[in-house]
Structure 1
């Protein structure tokens, strides 16, 4: 039998019991895919990460990310939290980390305060890609809102990706807090859209001063609501920049307020030679450490 250590932490927050929980297995060598998936389902967090030796020794690690039901090609808060754990355990090997993931190479920059790692900023592995639009009535039904609550003056609800896809929709500020997932509508919309498969993740937001407030529902993937979705926030940042004439933008996002797990994310987007790229960063707080014997 082999022991595997894990660390849990709250990501995109400065206080315990806020942000988005994450479990990290910092030395997962020897675990197969089925066991990783079973452990992620058992942990029951939005995502769990498993750190493996890199295929290329120039990189820091191979990081595999699982939600409750499937492996993810890329995700935001798992990368931020995994980097924080490796730094705290003395396994980072520098202030800039490079994670090999299904969606590509993810660069991570550690954030320090008083000599200690307090969080990280990551660059999404791919430039923005646009994957088609949805009707306001489809998204409104999924969110238990009226079609007029979907704001379309800036963009239609759109499926977009920086390595993992989300449907991004703007809603009226007064509708943000009253939304709730309608599982039947999710199944109906997903069944009509072969390209989304069984994963229909809707990230919806409202303007909040210079920043935004947001929520994310993905009930078909086992996440009724996510307290903080770094990859979706980064994708939105890239989308917002693509709709403007600016060379770059930066702002703050708040998510998870309605769940009692307020999360704060720092977003940046910029124009690069291969398209619009984006990053997301924030702070982390460690919670538990434990061991699983398999």
Structure 2
């Protein structure tokens, strides 16, 4: 047993307790895979990260990302939350950008005023969703056959598929049957109506990871990064837009998407809620 510096941060919100929480453990090089997985399961958060010394000399730090069930090669809110925690703890990047090493390789992160943004990694799976999987998703979301207007694999390492509905309220009203969607990571998106709902955001999103200790994610960087490549690639979104996520959970997540040339950046605010030590 030994002590580790620890932070718990809230990602995609400027207000504590309104975003997506993340546990961050520093100096975790001595921890075994089993110990990391056990601690992540114990926190019962959507993700827990462990910061280690980088293996790639181009990286500023290395991070391992665990859900309550398994390890992920990449996830968005853990990327921004870990970077915020690392910087706040005195980390100094080698260059102008922060370079994170993780399972998918090197991820670029940059400061955007008081917020952070990561470069969306390439999709490892895209294209239409198979009919049998779509049938499971439809049953799991309790939707009529014509309610889903578009669907696409948007997997950048976290296994996401995404479906689009016509109306924001349809997204907010969902009461999923997770037993129908076990093993799937499903994102649901619909546009805001600016006349009825305002212009604070342009899309409403919910993210379901059936079977996980946290079956709905309050604000999801990897999903929104994958969906951004889909939406922007098909001309379904402007070059810059804001996503609202977490409202049905009492949260107020805001995810910013910006296309700059050929690059898509996904960002938001991060605040620290807990700063101290833990014993593992």
User: 1:170-249 residue pairs with structure 2 within 5 A?
Assistant: 170-173=164-167, 174-187=169-182, 198=183, 200-208=184-192, 209=194, 211-244=202-235, 249=239
- 2:157 matched to 1:163? yes
Q: Is the 8 A contact 1:251 1:268 kept in 2?
A: yes
Aligned residue for 1:35, secondary structure, equals: helix
Q: In structure 2, how many angstroms separate the alpha carbons of the residues matched to 1:59 and 1:127?
A: 21
The answer (yes or no) to whether the contact 1:133–1:158 under 8 Å persists in 2 is yes
1:89 partnered with 2:54: no
Instruction: Look up the match of 1:145.
Output: 143
- Cα gap change, 1:57/1:42 in structure 2, threshold over 3 Å: closer, same or farther? same
| TM-score between the two structures when normalised by the length of structure 2 | 0.89
Unaligned runs of 5+ in 2: 195-200
Q: Secondary structure at the match of 1:172?
A: coil
Which residue in the other structure is 2:197 paired with?
Answer: none
How far did residue 204 of structure 1 move? 0.2
**What's the CA shift for 1:219?**
1.7
Deviation at residue 111 of structure 1 after TM alignment: 3.7
1:251 to 220, 241, 250: 241
Q: 2: CA distance between counterparts of 1:245 and 1:284?
A: 28
Equivalent position of 1:190 in the other structure:
none
Q: Which runs of 5+ in 1 are unaligned?
A: 113-117, 188-197
TM (norm. structure 1) is: 0.85
Is residue 125 of structure 2 the alignment partner of residue 124 of structure 1? Answer: no
Q: Structure 1 residues 183 and 161 mapped into 2: Cα distance closer, same or farther (>3 Å)? A: closer
How far apart are the structure 2 equivalents of 1:28 and 1:131?
Answer: 37
CA RMSD of aligned residues (A): 2.1
Q: What SS class does the counterpart of residue 288 from structure 1 fall into?
A: strand
1:260 and 2:250 correspond: yes
Deviation of 1:2 (Å): 1.6
Residue correspondences, number: 269
Q: Deviations over 1:238-283 (max 9, x none)?
A: 101111399x7121000001100110010124664xxxx5321000
Shift of 1:227: 0.5
Over 3 Å counting, the alpha-carbon distance change for 1:128 and 1:183 in structure 2 is closer
